[in-house]
Amino acid sequence: MIDYASLRAVAAVAETGSFEKAARQLNVTPSAVSQRVKHLEDRIGAALIVRGAPCVATEKGAWLCRHMQHVSLLEQDLFRELPGLEDGDRSSGRATVAVAVNADSLGSWFLPAAARFSERAGHLLAVTVDDQDHTAEWLKRGQVLAAVTSLAKPVSGCRALSLGALRYRATASPAFLARHFPSGVTAEALADAPSLTFNQKDLLQEQWAKVALGCKAGLSGHWLPSTQAFVDACLLGLGWGMNPDLLVRDHLKAGRLVELVPGAHLDIPLFWQINRMAADQLVQLTAAIAQAAKTCLEPAKSEI
């Protein structure tokens, strides 16, 4: 039989990052949490939590945490249908749903969907941010139940739903454009003008240059791991970057920003992938994501 009290303790430590916070969440003492985790580790014969600041789950611990997410979702559904089963002990708390999302979706259209889901379902969200080309890896490793990803092919054990495309525009301030591109936007001028890059996984600037100019451009510039900082940096003339149309359309209309090549946008198709075992319990989340995507995203295509 599975010791769910111990399993719940492992999940709480992994979620909160400490035994003390897990104890407060479960309404027990830190010593009780430690004993439960150690009991399960002894039974399995493997470490489940890497003790540190913060504490994190091992690979085996992560699999148990994912199982606990499924159990919590099923329990919440059961309690709604049969409230008499609850014995007043709410130490398990509300179900927490782990999802992976790319930063630009999180900063533009995803949060209203998350708020709608949480309000209606009462569940909590644990959001991991990664590049849209890499969020599917979190699904493959079993670390999240769902992800916004650029991967169209369903991950093993998951369902995939096309959301549309997030439209990007290469933008800069009018002064930056006049200073760095007095004779127009060319590969040589792009190589000289500071660009903005989110992190080492960010290839949007290179993709846009290749499609817009028909050639590869050797880009260099600033590293800014923040969606909002990209917009602010462009407004301040720090560099040029690929910004979601959702975040810059008002600036473009007002003339505070301009496109490097007018009309030359880049559409990045996005998909919602969700673990099949959790899909039925997360119908409201999928519906909220699909509705927000329909309202905010473009029809999926990869063209300029």
pLDDT (tens digit per residue) in 53-98: 899 889 888 888 888 887 877 777 666 666 666 655 544 457 889 9
Within a domain: 250 = yes
Kindly report the three-state secondary structure assignment for every residue of 76-109. HHHHHHCHHHCCCCCCCCCCEEEEEECHHHHHHH
- Is pLDDT of 302 > 50? no
Residue-wise DSSP of 272-288: EEEEHHHHTTTHHHHHH
Residue 199 covered by a domain = yes
Q: Which amino acid is at 44?
A: I
Count CB atoms within 10 A of the CB of residue 64. Answer: 20
Planar angle of CA 173, 194, 302, nearest 5 degrees = 75
Q: Confirm whether 49 is domain-assigned.
A: no
Residue 58, CA distances (Å) to 41, 71, 233, 265, 270 in order: 11, 20, 38, 42, 30
Q: Which domain holds residue 260?
A: 166-267
**Per the domain annotation, does 283 fall within a domain?**
no
Phi, psi of 151 (to 5 degrees): -80, 120
Domain harbouring 181, CATH code: 3.40.190.10
Strand partners, 274: 146, 159
Do strands 49-50 and 56-57 pair parallel, antiparallel, or not at all (unpaired)? antiparallel
248 occurs within a structural domain: yes
177-181 contacts, C-beta under 8 A, 24 or more apart = 177/240, 177/258, 177/260, 179/237, 180/240, 181/260
289 pLDDT more than 90: yes
CB count, 10 Å around CB of 226? 12
State yes or no: cis peptide before 54, omega within 30 of 0: yes
Give me the number of domains the chain comprises.
Answer: 1
Q: Which one, of 205, 189, 201, lies nearest residue 241 by Cα?
A: 205
pLDDT score at 34:
95
* pLDDT tens per residue, range 203-239: 999 999 999 888 777 888 999 999 999 999 999 999 9
DSSP state of 110: I
pLDDT at 81: 66
User: Of 263, 261, 199, 200, nearest to 230 (Cα)?
Assistant: 199
Strand pairing report for 258-259 and 158-172: antiparallel
**Per-residue model confidence as pLDDT tens digits over 243-279:** 999 999 999 999 999 999 999 999 999 999 999 988 9
Query: Residue 274 falls within a domain, yes or no?
Result: no
Amino acid at 233: A
The chain-wide mean pLDDT, for the chain, equals 90
Instruction: Report H helices in the chain.
Output: 4-16, 19-26, 30-44, 59-81, 103-105, 111-121, 135-140, 174-180, 187-192, 204-213, 227-235, 245-254, 276-279, 283-296
pLDDT interval class at 15 (50, 70, 90): confident
Q: Would residue 245 count as lying in a domain? A: yes
151 part of a folded domain: no
